[in-house]
Each structure stands twice: as C-alpha cells, then as structure tokens.
A and B are shown apart, each in its own frame.
Chain A
C-alpha cells in the first residue's frame, strides 16, 4: 500500500506528465507543419496563381481572397458587434426579451460552421442569387464571427470603470455620447486585441465558405480595378476560394499531382498568418494601452 505522501507524489508527477505530453503534441504539430511547409514556400509559390491539373501551382489568388474576405467580413461584423455589445453592456435592462437575445447569441456561437455555411448557401447564394461570391462568403463569415466579437467587445466595455459613466451622467451628457467619446476610446486597446484575435480565427475558417464563397476562383487580372468585371480582384460578386478552402479542396479532389506539397506550403503560410495575427493582437494591445495611460 502507498501512504498519502507517496500517492501525492505519484499523482503530481502524473499531472506533470500530462502537461508535458500536451506541450509535446503542440511542438510536434507546429514543427511538422513548418518543417514540411517552409521548404515549399518561395516567392514563386506565393505570387503565382494555382493550377488545376498540373504541378507547380502557387497560392497568390487564394492568399488575396483570404485577406479580401477577412476585411469585408470585418467591415460588416464590427459595426453590428459593436452596436450589440454597447446595448448589452450600457443599456440592456434585465428582462425576458434581453435574455432571449443573449441566448440567441449563445446559440449562434454554438452552431457548427458547416450549418452556418449551408444557411448562407440556401439564403444568399440561391435565394438572393448572390451566387458563390465574396459577398456570400463574407456574410457567412460574419455570422460565424459575430457572437465571439460581440462578447469580446462587451467584456472590453465592462472593464471600463463606472466612474467614467457617472462623470458623464453628472454632466448631463447622454449615455451614448459618454460611450462614444469616453468609454470606447478607453476600451479601444482591448477591443482591437479582440478584433485581431477574431481575425486569426476567421482566416482559418473553411467549412462556412465552401458553399458560400465557393471552391474556385476565376483568373484574375491584377490591374483590372473595375469592381463589376468578373476578372477584377476586387469584384465582390466573383467566387473566391480561400487558402483554407484550397487546402481542403486539393486534398479531397486530388487532381493536382503535387497536392501534398502545395498543402504543406499553404498550411505553413496559413499557420504563420494566424500566429502573426495572435502576436499582433498582444503587441498592439500592449502598445496602445501604454500610449493611452502615459498621458498626452
């Protein structure tokens, strides 16, 4: 039999072992992606378009699509999330109507992204006739993004002390003006951190996009800036395969001979992008915070 001290020692070492295993899993994943992927990354890989049936394609269009979709979906979702968060944190009374809306946000955040994508497909691609397009895709991404973004902005607002709101109220300023001119600026660092983190999540999303933004991309003419031309990169009505969708597609359809190599390169690019965003979130948050508190 063991005494309690020995059991303690055993159990604690066991917990150490678990933590080490988890850390090793991450180490393995990241090194696997980077070691296999980075050799594939070259200027040519990043700057040339993909190929459908032959080896040697690049990811330029997918990379552009990813960024474009991200920006467009953020333009749509930030104002909505901001409004909802302001209402929830600054105005919302405690009643059944509000708790139903809060539940709705929770439900949205727990919906599988493939279901969100399918809804986008049925509603925007087919019903509204937007087709497989950047617009449909960014709306689907917005649905996927809204709950998290709303919650993160809400938390940022809640962290600003009530003293500031009282100060506004005592001066006969409306809550809305106080929020816009006092609370939001003070909460900005953590809001930006939240937005950048959400961007990192959106970057890697694919399931919501395969039936909304589509799985193909027309040949793009980078100099064509006419938003109505089907070959213009900025046309929001054209289909747009993103990097994440590209990885999924070339692996499940296997029409390209070097699918594994391209996926490895793309995975590494995607992972590096996500890491950059995560790093940026922390860095920006700290920097703006310091600037704001240092006084002008």
Chain B
C-alpha cells in the first residue's frame, strides 16, 4: 500500500519520465521499427506518446504493462488494423519502408504481418477452409498446393497430428487451445514474416497456454514475433526482448533477462515485482 502511493506520487512530480531504451547495433537485423509513433483516438489525449522501438528479426519480443498502458494500441498499429477514428503520427518502418503512409496497401501489409488475438476467432468453417479461405480469396491455387499449405502450416503450429484426420470438421468443434493454434496456422499460411500476438494465451487454460508458448518458441527460427502479455512469467519464459509500457510511454526496453533481473528504471522494477498493475 505504501509503495503504491509512492509511485503515483513520483509520476506526478516528474516532468521528464525516466526511460531506458536499448539500442540495437547495426549487426542486429531490424524486422520492424517505429519512429516517434504517436496514436490518439477521436482527437482525445494520446493513447501512445512518441514511441521509438526496433524489433530484431527472428526474436520474440514481449510488450508488458498494465491495462491501458498503450501496449495493445501499439501492437495493433503495427499491421494497420487500428479502428476508423485512430490518428497515427510518426513512422512505422517495415524492413525500412514506412508503412504508415496512405499509399501503402494495408491488405498487403496485413498479409506480411500476421496477427492473432486474445480470443480465438476461427471462422465458422471447416478446419481446412479456415486455412485456405484467405489464400483462395487472393489468388488461384491447385488442390495439391492448398493441401500442402494446410499441412505445413498446421505442422508449424503443432496442430497437424491432432487434426489431420478431421480437416473437414468445423473449426468451432476444437478446444480453445487448438482453436488458437489453428488461428496461428491460418496466419502462417499466408507466409508472413512477422507475427503479432495480442495476449494469445490469456483466454486459455494452463495446458493450452503451454502449447501455445511452445509453438511460439518453435516459430522463432522463421518469424519475428511480437507478443503482448499480462503474464510476466510468460514474458520471462518465451521472449528475448521485453518492452515495458506505462500510461502511453515505453519506460524500458531491454533484453528480457535484464528487465526481469536488473531493470534500470524504478517503475519497471516495481511493475515486474508486482507492486502495481
């Protein structure tokens, strides 16, 4: 109780918020990077203040922070899936190309930057059609090609062995954890290179959570993964980097092990220790 009051106090009194953001050196490849990214809804107060974050290729980065800290808002802006009344300022550099630009085709961006949400949202279609639907809307494929893609993406999501004999069953008949992995497979089928996960396991039971986490770690070699999570243990278990968000600001961004063992900012250590949030 005492420490909580102290934190609120210190935020109020500080004009400059103390921050620490790691600098990726040039030998680290950057899959996606934001420059002065600012987000506001309906012209109200900023949901996110100038944010500069770079994400290394083939690594898992966790975004942590309390509800309303701006981490989900940030994640959603990365593949331009934000709502109608959202204003985004600054740059989002995808392999160096600024995609926060009206000339960019957002559908193409979303194919390359896949996204998985908190609650599993398979279509009310068969398992097979869930995976092929987006593909067949984009181009023509032969049956063999589709079969191959279905198999490989289900394998990548570690679901193939469980569903290979019932691909024509409704996706809604799967368990929550299976549904979430199907949704991951569905995104992978489009051959993205970045995967955004918005609290992918928070609606799942512990066993399903473990399965989804394993899947994430296995996917790392081929994909860059950015995951929003409320679960500090999860962030510590799976991610290479962690960024801590607080009230629309990135307070600290560093290697995960540093964030959880020797954070440089007091606010981060308080949050990681569970003092608030």
Contacts and interface: CB of A to CB of B under 8 A. Distances in A.
Interface string B100-126: 000000011111001111010111111
B123 A167 contact: yes
Interface stretch (B12-20, B63-71, B168-176, B218-226): B168-176
B39 interface: no
A174 B170 contact: no
A93 B170 CA distance: 34
A181 B79 CA distance: 23
Contact of A173 (B84, B121, B122, B134): B134
Interface string B164-188: 0000111011000000000100110
- Dominant secondary structure of chain A at its interface with chain B: helix
Nearest to B134: A171
Contacts of A170: 79, 81, 110, 114-117, 187
B108 A182 contact: no
- Dominant secondary structure of chain B at its interface with chain A: mixed
A166 B81 contact: yes
- Range of interface residues on chain A? 20 to 34
A169 B84 CA distance: 13
Nearest to B129: A181
Contacts of B119: 163
Nearest to A161: B121
Given A93-B84, A172-B108, A296-B170, A163 B117 contact: yes
A35 interface: no
A172 B121 contact: no
A181 B133 CA distance: 9
Interface in A165-212: 166-174, 177, 181-182, 185-186
A289 to B, nearest CB: 12
B107 A167 contact: no
- Range of interface residues on chain B? 20 to 34
A166 B110 contact: no
B190 interface: yes
Nearest to B111: A172
Interface string B113-156: 01111010111111000000110011000000000000000000
Contacts of B187: 170-171
A93 B84 CA distance: 8
Given A164-B123, A186-B124, A292-B124, A173 B117 contact: no
Contacts, number: 66
Contacts of A296: 126, 168-170
Contacts of B168: 296
B107 A174 contact: yes
A182 B172 CA distance: 13
A170 B114 CA distance: 6
Nearest to A296: B170
Contacts of A169: 81, 110
A183 to B, nearest CB: 10
Residue from B79, B122, B133, B168 having most chain A Cβ neighbours under 10 A: B133
Given A163-B119, A295-B169, A185 B124 contact: yes
A163 B81 contact: no
28 contacts: A93-B84, A163-B117, A163-B121, A164-B124, A166-B81, A167-B122, A168-B134, A169-B81, A170-B79, A170-B81, A170-B110, A170-B114, A170-B116, A170-B117, A171-B111, A171-B114, A171-B186, A172-B107, A172-B108, A172-B109, A172-B111, A173-B133, A173-B134, A173-B137, A181-B133, A182-B123, A295-B172, A296-B169
Given A167-B117, A173-B137, A177-B137, 13 more contacts: A163-B117, A164-B121, A167-B122, A170-B81, A171-B110, A173-B107, A173-B133, A174-B107, A181-B133, A181-B137, A182-B125, A186-B124, A293-B172
Interface of B: 79, 81, 84, 107-111, 114-117, 119, 121-126, 133-134, 137-138, 168-170, 172-173, 183, 186-187, 190
Interface of A: 93, 163-164, 166-174, 177, 181-182, 185-186, 292-293, 295-296
